[in-house]
Amino acid sequence: MPRYGVHAMVWVGAWSHAEAERAIACAARAGYDLLEIPLLDPDKIDLAHTRTLLELHNIKAAVSLGLPAEADVSSVDLVEVRRGSAILAKALHATTALGGDYLGGVIYSALKKYSRCASPAGRANAVAVIRDLAREARLANIDIGLEAVNRYETNLLNTGAQTLRFIDEVGEANVFVHLDTFHMNIEEADCVGVIELCAERLGYFHVNENHRGYLGSGSIAFSPSFRALRRIGYDRTIAFEAFSSSVAGEALGAMVAAWRDVWSDSNDIAEHALAFMRREFADALRSESLVSLGERQRVG
């Protein structure tokens, strides 16, 4: 069975003690196995405090981030690349300190709208940084996830196929593809096909509506993707992600262009999402069993 996660920005836009307490307690109360903590400022997070809360509420942590423009590991400017590696080293330290086993997101470039294509030299820098990060992470049993995001948030990895090629170049066994239905909906020609293509290397799956609101209230057809996850025997993390301007606040709102107040009741949307994802996964099992029963009957 997969583990179900939720992004902390469903509750909070920063990570003070009070915000950590709220996000961790609410995610656990809603029934999630894991809380994805965005590492907004690695120097400001009180790791011991967060770890104590995670243990108290019996919930795992994953760490995610998008690199800032001035710390872009896919740059040809080595000062920027070094700044990016330093942030990733801190993020890896934070993941270990929180007892997490997953560090991912847009960690292979900046999370920003680029005005030109990625250069071969910049891409090679990103591959080298992720390789070094993965080697360090392996020592702590941490998996690294590269999230394919849409064209307005990176110029390097917009699709699952591009991410697989990049991972081949990195050549480390603990680097995985991280897919997100919001980004797949914009960039993939075939959302089912990409899940099947990435099967062996799929390490994390974000479930998101096209408007980042309540699952099922937008235009994304989730059932085919859940059936594909079942077919490939996916048993890693399925995490709900949603952003709304009133909850995410200015800084994060700007990063992911959450300009509208799409929803406002954090506990309600989180509970709704967990029930939705569990139902989709259970229905996917039923429909896959019906397909294989039909196949057996045709053959017999």
Q: Could you list the active site residues? A: 147, 241
Q: Which does 153 bind (CB under 5 to 8 A by kind): ligand LER, Mn ion, none?
A: ligand LER
Residue 256 contacts ligand LER per CB under 6 A: yes
Residue 64 contacts ligand LER per CB under 6 A: yes
The counts of H helices and E strands in the chain are 10, 8
C-alpha distances out from residue 4 to 118, 137, 273, 291, Å: 34, 22, 10, 26
CB of 300 to ligand LER, least distance (A): 45
Residue 71 contacts ligand LER per CB under 6 A: no
Note whether 267 and 26 are within 8 A (CB). Answer: yes
What is the phi/psi pair of residue 223, to 5°? -60, -45
Residue 145 contacts ligand LER per CB under 6 A: no
CB of 183 to ligand LER, least distance (A): 6
Residue 80 or residue 147: which is nearer to ligand LER going by CB? 147
Residue 66 contacts ligand LER per CB under 6 A: yes
Q: Which does 66 bind (CB under 5 to 8 A by kind): ligand LER, Mn ion, none?
A: ligand LER
Give the footprint of Mn ion on this chain (CB under 5 A): 180, 206, 241
Integer Cα distance of 177 and 188 in angstroms: 14
Residue nearest to ligand LER (CB): 105
Residue 252 contacts ligand LER per CB under 6 A: no
Note whether 206 and 181 are within 8 A (CB). Answer: yes
Integer Cα distance of 51 and 97 in angstroms: 7
In terms of phi and psi (left: phi > 0; alpha: psi -120 to 50; beta: otherwise), the region of 214 is: beta
**CA–CA–CA angle 207, 211, 216 (5° rounding):** 55
Residues 146-185 that bind ligand LER (CB under 6 A): 147, 149, 153, 180, 182
Residues 183-212 that bind ligand LER (CB under 6 A): 206
Residue 280 contacts ligand LER per CB under 6 A: no
Integer Cα distance of 241 and 209 in angstroms: 8
CB of 55 to ligand LER, least distance (A): 25
Helix, coil or strand: residue 79 = helix
Give the total of residues touching ligand LER (CB under 6 A).
Answer: 12
Integer Cα distance of 255 and 257 in angstroms: 6
Residue 91 or residue 170: which is nearer to ligand LER going by CB? 91
Residue 101 or residue 180: which is nearer to Mn ion going by CB? 180
CB of 188 to Mn ion, least distance (A): 14
